Amino acid sequence: MVEAAIGLLDTAGEGALTFRALAERLATGPGAIYWHVTGKDELLNAATDAVIATTTTTDTTTTVDTTGTADATPQEAIRTLALGVFDAIDAHPWIGTQLARAPSQSPILRVFEHLGRHIQTLGVPHPAQ
């Protein structure tokens, strides 16, 4: 469902994301979508989270960083993270609006968490963080 929503957002924009349009894409009824999400905002957050997760995902079971920053310096890791977010916004233009609209939601918090870890590794004093 989230992948279908991302596809719809990518091709037609946020205004075209309706449960009716998504239901048509999924070949189901609009009511079926409500079993999974409570509304459009939750669906947009899930779609944003799915896209942003690809820029910040780490495999905690093997401590391998799938963003390619496992052996990188903190500066390289920050650059990789920033470029990943930029690439996500470039590939999915609706993401920028979503990240700015809900800064307290999990997608942007995920980015800040990863950024914060790398800043701490650099030894930046706490007040400056």
The correct answer on CATH 3.40.930.10 for the domain covering 2-128 is no
How far apart are alpha carbons 79 and 55 in whole angstroms?
12
pLDDT at 59: 34
Please determine, for residue 39, whether its predicted confidence score (pLDDT) is greater than 60.
yes
pLDDT at 60: 33
* Closest listed residue to residue 17, CA positions, set 118, 92, 68: 92
Please determine, for residue 11, whether its predicted confidence score (pLDDT) is greater than 80.
yes
In tens, the pLDDT along 40-79 reads: 999 999 999 999 998 876 433 333 344 555 678 999 999 9
- pTM across the whole model: 0.80
Q: What is the mean pLDDT of the chain?
A: 86
How far apart are alpha carbons 80 and 91 in whole angstroms?
16
